Amino acid sequence: MNKNQRQQFFQTLSQHIQNPTTELKYRNEFELLVAVILSAQATDISVNKVTPKLFQAAPTPEKMAALGEEGIIPYIQSIGLYRNKARYIAACCKALVEQFGGYVPNNRRDLESLAGVGRKTANVVLNTAFGEPTIAVDTHIFRVANRTGLATGKTVLAVEQELLKNTPQAFLKDAHHLLILHGRYTCKARKPLCNQCVVKDLCEFDEKIEI
């Protein structure tokens, strides 16, 4: 895609996706951070089923840390990798209390110092909670970017860097969620709904070629 096509691509998506935001349910930065850690290799739907009771029992980093790994497990055991995630969340909350005064840090270095927080999770929190113009490349965004020709790359980092370079400034803040929602509901991995796609005319995907 050239510059004008990328502008049109995002402008069209933004006109059809009225509220580009996460589908994870949260009330503050802390709850978002925990929900994103839980969402690794899990669906937002499955995470949203367990977090209300978890956050009711432990609405702050202090109380979550007090629950500890074994106390967290009963709330999240329907989610894949729940033991690892319980360990990460307990350690993460302990660090939030001891190193950051119980607050979620708003910079990449400190976020990535937390247990269970890698680049993608940090990007989600920075973008969704703090409005930073970052793009967390998950499987949906990786697929959409490569399939459409918006940003091509063989690695997640390569695609992220291309997207940050190629996305028009006006859409950088919302690009993450625009692309995720488009990938989740229209540009699906199997049987993409090309006949319903609002950016089909700008897309380089050939329906006859399997991706």
One-letter-per-residue 3-state SS of the chain = CCHHHHHHHHHHHHHHCCCCCCCCCCCCHHHHHHHHHHCCCCCHHHHHHHHHHHHHHCCCHHHHHHHHHHHHHHHHCCCCCHHHHHHHHHHHHHHHHHHHCCCCCCCHHHHHCCCCCCHHHHHHHHHHCCCCCCCCCCHHHHHHHHHHCCCCCCCHHHHHHHHHHHCCHHHHHHHHHHHHHHHHHCCCCCCCCHHHCCCHHHCCCCCCCCC
Catalytic residue chosen out of the listed positions 85, 94, 138, 174:
138
Catalytic residue chosen out of the listed positions 120, 154, 173, 200:
120
Report d(CA 62, CA 194) in Å as an integer: 48
Catalytic status, residue 206 = no
Report d(CA 63, CA 67) in Å as an integer: 6
Catalytic status, residue 120 = yes
Report d(CA 97, CA 159) in Å as an integer: 34
**Which residues are annotated as catalytic?**
120, 138
